[in-house]
Amino acid sequence: MKPQTSNDSRQVVINGIKLAFLEWPGERGPIICLPHLTGHKGSFINLAKRLSPTYRVIALDLRGRGDSDKPEDGYGFAYHTRDILAFAEARKIDQFTLIGHSFGATAATYLASIASKRVAAVALLDGGADPKEETLRSMYPTIQRLSRVHPSLNDYLAAMQALSFHQPWSAALEQYFAEDVDTLPDGSVRSKSSAAAIERDLDQHFMYSMCLHFPALRCPALFIRPMLGLTGDKGHVFSEAEATAIVRHIPRGRRADAPEANHYTMLIHDEPPVVEPIKNFLAEVYSVA
């Protein structure tokens, strides 16, 4: 099987829009993967390669992101849940496991809590709960940078490589960001994701209280926290105390840590450190010898 990239994207029409996805074949599952707030399906490529062919893995671009449509409305966790369930129906998937990263993990918590019979398990990669309000507000400038046009792909990659939380730079990060942009007629590039769409999602984030959904999250749940913050020892999305509380309040929650990785590099990495804890978790869920 040749290595997948986002150029191998497929699409399905649901709820009047096209959702883009990547798929890897496997015997068990399926597992549906949901990216971070501004992320795209390519963030899961290296994880999926290590789970397939034991598991069938599907990575989605949520509406407003990547190669999916960018309608003006339909944002917030309830709308994404409607999209994901419609996607599952279109693909004739009855029950599935969810792996979500950051915002995608929070969407997974919401979905699993209101459609419990559809979700076999959830793996929450540094997400699934409500970050502090100041953390959410700090995301708005990042979203606005999605609208920036860069003179070339090389210029864009250099800008991404210069960010401290993308260190150490890797082939995985380079591939992820190279697939993150559209090339304009003059050779300049701009993010595929819609800043306006993602800002609507962030606006809606303040209207949810995900901890209220924890008691209804009845499936097995794995929370993975990176050991590094976005600025070394600082800049964690969730403090140690918050991570402990999240796991304690999810009925079937458990925890693993991702060493030597931060919020982004725990997943977007040549050798993602989340692979082994996820494999161990899935082996229990699916009773793999």
Q: What is the pLDDT of residues 115-152, one digit of tens each?
A: 999 999 999 999 999 988 998 998 998 898 899 999 99
DSSP state of 211: G
Q: Position 274: which residue type?
A: V
Give the DSSP H or E segment for 85.
helix 77-90
pLDDT at 289: 46
Is 38:166 a contact under the CB 8 Å cutoff?
Answer: no
pLDDT at 144: 87
Is 77:50 a contact under the CB 8 Å cutoff?
Answer: no
Closest CA to 71 of 136, 114, 14, 9: 14
pLDDT at 64: 98
Q: What is the pLDDT of residues 193-216, one digit of tens each?
A: 999 999 999 999 999 999 999 999
pLDDT at 233: 78
The phi and psi torsions of 272 (rounded to 5 degrees) equal -60, 125
DSSP state of 238: S
Write down the H helix ranges in 221-274: 240-249
Q: For tokens 């991570």, name the residue.
A: 243
User: In the chain, what are the domains?
Assistant: 6-148+193-285 (3.40.50.1820)
Q: Position 210: which residue type?
A: M
pLDDT at 3: 62
Mean pLDDT of the region 226-239: 88
pLDDT at 231: 78
